[in-house]
Amino acid sequence: MTSNDLLTVDGKIFSSKAEAARNYGVNPKQVCERMSKFGWALAQSVGVEPRPNKEYRKAIVIDNVAYPSIRAAARALDLPQSTLMNRIKADSIVEGREVLKGQSKPMFYGGKLYISARYAKKEGLINNLSLAEISTEYGLPKIRLSDEFDAD
């Protein structure tokens, strides 16, 4: 083993991360996860140095109103945070997110993303016609659905 392979924590030399972890009473798997997943240094992973202080909250814009965090937005909108998170995850618009009402789903039409089919129809962007409206609009005979049990 060369001197490049040795690890130093608080002036002590270790031959592996696992050895350092066991010396400080930390699970070796947890040390490896902290280093690989979170990018912590070995000394931080074993608890000798304080862990990095990372700002976890992210600003969010909903209906062109900026909120410092999702929690603040949920409070302002009088929604449970989990409900707001689920609605944001269901909506793939990155900027200018709008809170989805009820169970509406976003839809693509003409290369554009709309928060719901109802919204796109209300704005006059698409014609969401019923079967009766299709036959009237295009002068077609009334469309009738049948199955194998219907008599001819």
Q: What tens digit of pLDDT does each residue of 66-109 get?
A: 888 888 888 888 888 888 887 777 664 334 444 444 556 666 66
Distance, CA of 46 to CA of 83 (rounded, Å): 37
Q: How far is CA 63 from CA 100, 111, 113, in A?
A: 11, 22, 16
- The answer, as to whether pTM is greater than 0.85, is no
Sign of CA dihedral 123, 125, 126, 129: positive
Q: How far is CA 28 from the centre of its chain?
A: 30
The pLDDT of residue 124 is 67
Q: How many other C-beta atoms can be found within 10 angstroms of the C-beta atom of residue 30?
A: 12
CB-count burial class (<10 Å; 0-12, 13-18, 19+) for 84: buried
Contacts of residue 71, defined as CB under 8 A and 6 or more positions apart, other chains included, come to 57, 81
User: Mean pLDDT in runs of 10 for the chain (152 residues)?
Assistant: 71 91 93 88 90 74 81 86 78 45 60 68 67 75 69 59
| Dihedrals phi, psi of 24, to nearest 5 degrees | -100, 5
Quickly tell me which residue has 């049948």 as its tokens.
Answer: 146
Q: How many other C-beta atoms can be found within 10 angstroms of the C-beta atom of residue 67?
A: 19
